[in-house]
Amino acid sequence: MDARSQFNQPIVSLKGVGGQTVIRLEKLDIHQIRDLLFHLPLRYEDRTRIQQISQLRAGDTALVCARVVSCSISHHGRRLLNCQISDETGLLNLRFFHFTAKQHNNLSANTLISCFGEIKEGYSGFEIIHPEYKIIQSAEQCITQDSLTPIYPLTEGLRQSILRKAATQALDIYNSTADELPDLLPENILKHYKFPSLNSALNTLHAPAAGLSTDNLLGTNPALKRLAFEELIAHQLSQLQRKSSDKQWQAPNLIESQQHSEAFLKALSFKLTQAQQRVIKEIVVDCASNSPMLRLIQGDVGSGKTVVSAYAALLALSNQYQVAIMAPTELLAEQHLRNFSLWFEDFNTQIAYLTGQLKGKKREQILKDIADGTAGIIIGTHALFQDSVNFSRLGLIIIDEQHRFGVNQRLALRDKGQTGNTKPHQLIMTATPIPRTLAMLNYADLDISVIDELPPGRIPVITRAIPADRRDEIIAKINAWVAQGHQAYWVCTLIEESEILQCEAAEDTAQYLASSLPNIRIGLVHGRMKAAEKEKVMLTFKQHELDLLVATTVIEVGVDVPNSSLMIIENPEHLGLSQLHQLRGRVGRGSTESYCLLMYKAPLSHKSRERLNILRETSDGFVIAEKDLELRGPGEMMGTRQTGQMQFKIADLERDADLLESVSEAVTLIQKHHPENNQALIKRWLGSTTKYAEV
Ligand code: ADP
Ligand code: MG
């Protein structure tokens, strides 16, 4: 078999790769020889040079060539083989906890050895625990390698040496048939951003030349950056492609009905803001077109996104289509149910409410209403995804709080409403402003509308940072606040991600507050309560039968109680700015002055102080999001760790944040001058996962 045809062969054709190894490599998503090239080392070891003992630093891994000075077994606590070696510049200790008598004998005084391992600071100078070592006859045998040794990520049962051998073969094949894996980034782009060619990048990363530092290779080396850059470009291209392929789908023509619109607007208890009207116009245009709308509405908390989405719903209903509204939590779904019930009271249609809680006959009835078209408006949670849910004539899907659903979820729901080559329109609402650079990466397939104006009369929330040791003062403030007829929230947050711990903390806090505030009616909501229980507490709070609501971050979205105008947030220093801003958005909904007290644990780090200050100084969600991006990096901001929304092979949004701006530029250039590379780039980086790139 010549090398050329080998390149696209399954890995089994490599020497030393068969049976179990194939299965294990496949677990790492390595199927073809070429896949090995994109499986990058986690770190490197340097066996390219012999280091002098006097030059060693703790933490280095080093290759040393030296003579045994002494070797003995010691019995302090644990049996231990202790071997001292010297290379004339200094002494180094080798320690073995597991050893054989033969080893002991072989390491006799004056024996020349080469050894390799991590240098540690020991009791008596530097040491290596369990070094790799070899007895040699002359210093020349202290074989040094030509390049740094890559250490690859493994999977259970897979040995480093096997993977390394496979990767070396793959690199050799690649180097002899480089055109089998063409460089998909045009030369002028590489030149412009000072990136190396694909060939040079892959060689640098798999077999770095002696002298390169490991930190550099894992961080800022252009070889790594170039691959991340290419991957990010591929992701953005795939979204843009999805967007353009959407054009081939038909969508229902939803034509605005003058009569319905007038009635709808007249029945509202307020006048729409300029921004709301502008976004509605954009939606009206989209929905009247033949291809499916895919639009994201970004608007700060309280900017009035819901009513805009209701207007879109009206378009569907006016044209005898159904509309599905999906929210991330039951609390939020229930609130939409209340709003939509009110706004569509005079509209002759049935509203179906579907959550996971719903069981038995009631559920069957609702599913039937959805399937036969009796229900015009369908509101629910993830439950709307279930296979048993079938729509009769779905014309529009509204998704609230997009960032909690993955890209694939939103597309899956749309597929559900597909009939023939017609797909429903889709409107997505999010209160998390997405900085432009990130939007290009993760939402490039969406059109974006921004509601950049709050309804009139909103008074900005006064935000203060107060150390937790003034807790009693704050509790006294709650007392006075409630005495004036107001309500308040107390939000418990924990550093740990554990929901159980969060809920326990909230329970403890509620108890503590109940004992210090005996005259105040206190309620508790947390994530481990049943939805019905939660809702009951929320409703009681809304009806002002409770004064203080102790909650975990479950109240982040959707809670709307205008009379609750004081919020205390514990441990704010551990939350993202955007999340804090979302929480804070629960107050400031009424006509009285509102307060948000950030109760931090002193002392605050400089960075934390800076972050909390931003929150005090501005109530503009976009400014806050940009700062959040600057201070925390994009990975955390998008909450990708939790949702796994963006999965990259090589790119790391934290490390590669500096690339985002150029990625968008490069994508534009590639689309314009090298459109022939689009498909290949997407295939290389997204491969089979581009289920939704339907071209
Ligand atoms: P969000 O954008 O955070 O989802 P909502 O849609 O829940 O905001 O709206 C927040 C509150 O503002 C609701 O009580 C809603 O009825 C009200 N509202 C929406 N638009 C206007 C407006 N133009 N004028 C006054 N109040 C409005
Ligand atoms: Mg909302």
pLDDT at 536 over 60: yes
Q: Give the atom of ligand 1 at the shortest distance from the alpha carbon of 589.
A: 11
The CA 467 to ligand 2 mean position distance, Å, reads 31
The predicted structure's pLDDT at residue 645: 46
Query: Band of the pLDDT at 643, cuts 50, 70, 90?
Result: very low
The pLDDT of residue 93: 96
Please tell me if the CB atom of residue 430 comes closer than 6 angstroms to any atom of ligand 1: no
178 pLDDT exceeds 70?
no
Given this model, what pLDDT does residue 318 score? 97
The pLDDT of residue 317: 97
Bridge-based pairing of strands 43-45 and 149-151 is antiparallel
Spatial contact of 274 and 451, defined as CB atoms under 8 Å apart = no
Do the domain assignments include residue 495?
Answer: yes
Same domain, 84 and 38: no
Q: Which ligand is nearest to the CA of 310?
A: 1
CA separation for the pair 281, 512 (Å, rounded)? 51
Same domain, 262 and 213: no
Ligand 1 atom with least separation from CA of 585:
3
Question: Of the candidates 569, 555, 535, 552, which has an alpha carbon nearest to the alpha carbon of residue 498?
Answer: 552
- Phi, psi at 126, each rounded to 5°: -70, 150
pLDDT class of 274 with cuts at 50, 70, 90: very high
Q: Is residue 132 a part of any domain in this protein?
A: yes
**Ligand 1 pocket mutation, candidates 265, 280, 303, 337, criterion most atoms within 8 A of CB:** 303
Confidence of residue 344 (pLDDT cuts 50, 70, 90): very high
Alpha carbon nearest to ligand 1 atom 13, residue: 304
Does residue 272 have its Cβ closer than 6 Å to ligand 1?
Answer: yes
- pLDDT > 70 in the chain, percent: 92
Distance of alpha carbon 94 from alpha carbon 87, whole angstroms: 13
Q: Is the pLDDT of residue 117 over 90?
A: yes
Structural domain ending residue among the three candidates 428, 451, 474: 451
Mean pLDDT check: name the lowest of 316-330, 496-510, 524-538: 496-510
581 Cβ closer than 6 Å to some ligand 1 atom: no
Residues 75, 107 share a domain = yes
> What's the confidence (pLDDT) of residue 620?
83
Q: What gap in Å lies between CA 446 and CA 227, rounded to an integer?
A: 26
Ligand nearest to the CA of 309: 1
Is 685 domain-assigned? no
Distance between the two ends of the chain, CA-based, in angstroms?
34
Cβ of 302 closer than 6 Å to ligand 1, yes or no, is yes
Rounded to whole angstroms, what are the CA distances from 8 to 110, 169, 372?
A: 52, 13, 51
Print the domain residue range for 561: 462-618
pLDDT on residue 628: 78
Q: Is the CB of 273 under 6 A from ligand 1?
A: yes
Q: Using one digit for the tens of pLDDT, what is the confidence trace for 385-410?
A: 788 899 999 999 999 876 666 666 66
Percent with pLDDT over 90 in the chain: 54
- Domain contains 30: yes
Nearest CA to ligand 1 atom 23: 272
Range 575-614 burial, b when 16+ CB lie within 10 A, else e: bbbbbbbbbbbbbbbbebebbbbbbbeeebeeebeebbeb
Q: Rounded to the nearest 10 degrees, what angle do helices 606-617 and 577-584 cross at?
A: 40
CB of 316 closer than 6 A to ligand 1?
no
Q: What is the pLDDT of residue 638?
A: 47
Residue 337 alpha carbon to ligand 1 centre in Å: 15
Ligand nearest to the CA of 272: 1
Q: How confident is the model over 34-57, as pLDDT tens digits?
A: 899 999 998 898 888 899 999 999
Instruction: Please tell me the number of the ligand nearest to residue 329's CA.
Output: 2
Centroid of ligand 1 to alpha carbon of 272 (angstroms) = 9
Alpha-carbon distances of 111 from 74, 107, 223, rounded to whole Å: 20, 6, 42
User: How much is the pLDDT for 544?
Assistant: 95
**pLDDT for the residue numbered 695:** 26
- Mutation choice for ligand 1 from 271, 298, 307, 591, CB with most ligand atoms inside 8 A: 307
455 lines ligand 1 (CB under 6 A): yes
Which ligand has an atom closest to residue 588 CA? 1
Report the nearest-CA residue for atom 10 of ligand 1: 302
Q: Is the pLDDT of residue 691 over 70?
A: no
On whether both 320 and 356 belong to a single domain, the answer is yes
**588 close to ligand 1 (CB < 6 Angstrom):** no
Question: Residue 592 C-alpha to ligand 1 middle, in angstroms?
Answer: 16
Backbone angles phi, psi at 402, to 5 degrees: -50, -40
Q: 381: CA distance to ligand 2 center in Å?
A: 14
**One domain, residues 122 and 61:** yes
Q: Are 539 and 523 in contact (CB under 8 A)?
A: no
- Name the more confident of 493 and 442: 493
- 239 touches 444 (CB < 8 A): yes
Same structural domain, 288 and 431? yes
| Residue 644 in domain | no
118 and 157 belong to one structural domain: no
The whole-angstrom distance between residue 571's C-alpha and the CA centroid of its chain comes to 22
What is the arithmetic mean of pLDDT over 159-166?
92
Can you give the CATH number for the domain in which 376 is found? Answer: 3.40.50.300
Highest mean pLDDT among 142-146, 233-237, 443-447, 686-690: 233-237
Of 646 and 521, the structure prediction assigns the larger pLDDT to 521
470 lies in a domain? yes
In this prediction, residue 68 carries a pLDDT of: 96
**Cα separations in angstroms, 641 against 397, 610, 637, 648:** 27, 24, 9, 12
Domain contains 206: yes
Residue at a domain's end among 167, 192, 218: 218
- Ligand with minimal distance to 401 CA: 2
Pocket of ligand 1 contains residue 304 by CB under 6 Å: yes
Q: Are both 421 and 314 inside the same structural domain? A: yes
Among candidate residues 418, 409, 422, 362, the one with its CA nearest the CA of residue 381: 409
Question: Which ligand has the nearest atom to the CA of 589?
Answer: 1
Give the closest residue (by CA) to ligand 1 atom 5: 304
Rg of the chain taking only CA atoms, in angstroms: 31
Best substitution site from 265, 279, 306 to test ligand 1's pocket, by max atoms within 8 Å of Cβ?
306
306 lines ligand 1 (CB under 6 A): yes
Task: Say which residue, 533 or 115, is predicted with more confidence.
Answer: 115
Q: Which of 264, 268, 270, 584 to mutate to test the pocket of ligand 1 (most atoms within 8 A of CB)?
A: 270
- Total residues found in the chain within this entry: 695
What is the edge-to-edge ordering of all strands in the sheet holding 322-326? 350-354, 375-380, 322-326, 394-400, 425-430, 294-299, 447-451
Instruction: Pick the residue whose CA is nearest to atom 17 on ligand 1.
Output: 304
Residue at token pair 């009769």: 392
Asked whether the beta carbons of 310 and 343 are under 8 A apart, the reply is: yes
Please report whether residue 180 resides in a domain: yes
If asked whether residues 163 and 123 sit together in one domain, one would say: no
Alpha-carbon distance 519 to 501, whole Å? 28
| Distance of alpha carbon 212 from alpha carbon 164, whole angstroms | 19
Task: Assess whether pLDDT exceeds 70 at residue 246.
Answer: yes
pLDDT at 644: 36
**Ligand 1 atom nearest to CA at 268:** 16
* Average predicted confidence (pLDDT) for the chain: 87
Distance from residue 686's CA to the centre of ligand 2 (Å): 33
Reference 516, options 547, 468, 472, 469; nearest CA is 472
Question: Is the distance from CB of 566 to CB of 594 less than 8 angstroms?
Answer: yes
Cβ 195 vs Cβ 185: under 8 Å: yes
Do residue 277 and residue 408 come from a single domain? yes
pLDDT the model gives residue 496: 59
Are residues 89 and 80 in contact, defined by beta-carbon separation less than 8 angstroms?
Answer: no
Count of domains for the chain: 4
Range with lowest mean pLDDT among 136-145, 372-381, 515-524: 136-145
Convert the pLDDT of each residue in 11-27 to its tens digit.
988 988 988 999 999 99
Chain segment 491-511, per-residue pLDDT in tens: 998 765 667 777 788 899 999
Whether 263 and 396 map to the same domain: the answer is yes
Q: Judge if 13 and 132 occupy the same domain.
A: no
Last residue of a domain, one of 192, 218, 244: 218
